[in-house]
Amino acid sequence: MTGTGEGKRSGRAMHDAGQRVQSLALHDVMSGPPRHRAVTAWGPASALLALVAMALVIIALQVLVFWLATKLLGVEEFNAQIVGTGLEAPLMLISTMLTQVPLIAMVWLAANRGGLRAETLQFAQPPLGWGASILAGLGLAAVLAGLLAVMHLLVPGYSVLQDTRSFVSGLQSPLWWGTVLAIGVLAPISEELAFRGYLLTALAKSRLGIIGAGLVANVLWAAPHFQYSAAGLVTVFSGGLLLTWLVWRTGSIRAAIVAHMVANCVLLAYLASVAPA
Task: Compare 269 and 14 and report the one with higher pLDDT.
Answer: 269
Amino acid letter for position 47: A
Global pTM? 0.85
72-81, 117-126, 145-154: the lowest-pLDDT one: 72-81
Between CA 263 and CA 269 the distance in angstroms is 10
**pLDDT band (50, 70, 90) for residue 154:** confident
Question: In the chain, what are the helix, strand and coil shares in percent, each to the nearest 5?
Answer: 80, 0, 20
Between CA 237 and CA 63 the distance in angstroms is 28
CA-closest candidate to residue 238, choices 257, 261, 215: 215
Rg (CA), the chain: 21
Position 17 scores a pLDDT of: 39
Model pLDDT for residues 57-94, shown as the tens digit of each residue:
999 999 998 888 888 888 777 777 776 567 888 888 88
Q: What is the dihedral of CA 64, 68, 69, 74, to 10 degrees?
A: 130
Check whether 225 has a pLDDT greater than 50.
Answer: yes
Highest mean pLDDT among 2-16, 152-166, 196-210: 196-210
Model pLDDT for residues 240-267, shown as the tens digit of each residue:
999 999 999 888 898 899 999 999 999 9
Model pLDDT for residues 6-34, shown as the tens digit of each residue:
455 544 544 443 444 443 456 666 667 88
**End-to-end CA, the chain:** 56
Task: Compare 128 and 69 and report the one with higher pLDDT.
Answer: 69
Check whether 237 has a pLDDT greater than 80.
Answer: yes
CB within 8 A of 13, min separation 6: which ones? none
DSSP string, 50-94: HHHHHHHHHHHHHHHHHHHHHHHH-HHHHHHHHTT--TTSHHHHH
CB within 8 A of 74, min separation 6: which ones? none
Position 12 scores a pLDDT of: 53
HSE-up of 97 (CA within 13 Å, CB side)? 16
**Mean pLDDT across 145-157:** 83
Task: Compare 154 and 181 and report the one with higher pLDDT.
Answer: 181
Cite the DSSP H helix spans in 111-174.
117-120, 130-154, 160-163, 165-171
**Phi and psi at residue 253, in whole multiples of 5°?**
-70, -25
* Mean of pLDDT over the chain: 84
Name the residue ranges covered by the structural domains of the chain. 40-274
Check whether 109 has a pLDDT greater than 90.
Answer: yes
